Amino acid sequence: MTKIIQISDPHIVPKGQLAYGRVDTAAPLKSCVETINRMLPNIGPVDMAIVAGDLTDFGTAEEYQLFRDIMEPLGIPYCAIPGNHDNVAAMRTGFADQKWMPNSGPINWTEEFEDLALVGLDSNVEGEAHGHLTDATLDYLQQKLAALQQKPVIVAIHHPPILTGIEKMDIQNLRDSRKLQTILSEYHGELKLVCGHIHRNIIASFGSVICQIAPGTSHAVSMDLRVGAPNCLTKEPGAFLLHEIRGGILTHCIPIGQFDGPHLFYPDKS
């Protein structure tokens, strides 16, 4: 029973700085690592974690080093895909020692487990907020899916190809996604698409597959579905996802932090 944790959008900034002048992003990622490590005996074993993009806010070498320093105590290995806030070249250099990091081209990789495969795809468009998958990336996905035959698959892309109703994010989603939809929908096994970018837990259909967007670790894009709503963040509690094979692919959303409990519902009955 493969289990994968998904962390998304940590937006690490240089030490001592706040993202957008108001969000401490390092402390919530540290808290996320602590939460996962504390929970592992109850929810594990977990095979690996994926960080679904926007590891850093500005894509600098200093930020990638700080990200790695904060993630270092995590009790499971992790892979990462770039988001729009990342810089593919700097990220490649920052993780050059990791076997999942390709030497050149888009940061696409595949990890195979006994009953699940995880495919990470690079949707970064340099200097742009929206996402796009190049023909090379779509070919990579197509070839990987063909080789996996009917094995359950999670495909991870930072930018969601769906519309969420949050207007300022929908204009920077994954563009030109028709071919992706065809490739995913034609897969013969179970397949789930997981994303980041919106910093909210959102679930939708994309063709014949389920698309789930992960919450962020430190701040959410504000919940405002009005036309013309301003582009805002809200410091909602951070969370991460746990994907596991339990019959099919099942996903839990777990808040970051330490909370009162667990308490027995009926202590007298033990």
**DSSP reduced 3-state for 248:** strand
Q: What is the DSSP string of 63-115?
A: HHHHHHHHHTT-SS-EEE---TTS-HHHHHHHTTTSTTS-SSSS--EEEE-SS
- Smaller CB separation from Fe ion, 214 or 245: 214
Interface residues toward Fe ion, by CB under 5 A: 9, 54, 83-84, 197
Query: Is the Cβ of residue 5 or residue 198 nearer to Fe ion in the bound state?
Result: 198
Q: Given the complex with Fe ion, which of 5 and 116 has the nearer CB atom?
A: 5
HSE value, Cβ hemisphere, 13 Å, CA-based, for 175: 12
Q: How far is CA 193 from the centre of its chain?
A: 10
- Minimum distance, C-beta of residue 130 to Fe ion, in the bound complex (Å): 10
Q: Where are the beta strands (DSSP E) in 177-268?
A: 191-195, 202-206, 209-213, 220-221, 233-234, 239-246, 248-255
Strand partners, 94: none
Q: Say how far apart CA 197 and CA 188 lie, in whole Å.
A: 28
- The SS3 of residue 212 is strand
**Least distance in Å: CB of 237 to Fe ion?**
16
Looking at the Cβ atoms of 47 and 122, the one nearer to Fe ion is: 122
Structure tokens at 43: 């929810």
Rounded least distance, CB 7 to Fe ion, Å: 12
Amino acid, single-letter form, for residue 34: E
Would you say 152 or 160 has its CB closer to Fe ion? 160
Q: Across the strands, what pairs with 220? A: 234
- Of the pair 19, 249, the CB lying nearest Fe ion is at 19
Measured from the CB of residue 197, what is the shortest distance to Fe ion in angstroms? 4
> Smallest distance, Å, CB 198 to Fe ion?
8
**Residue 264: DSSP 8-state:** -
- Look at the block and give the residue holding tokens 């806010």: 57
CB of 91 to Fe ion, least distance (A): 14
Question: Which of residues 56 and 84 has its CB atom nearest to Fe ion in the complex?
Answer: 84
* Residue 81 beta carbon to Fe ion: minimum distance, rounded to whole angstroms: 11
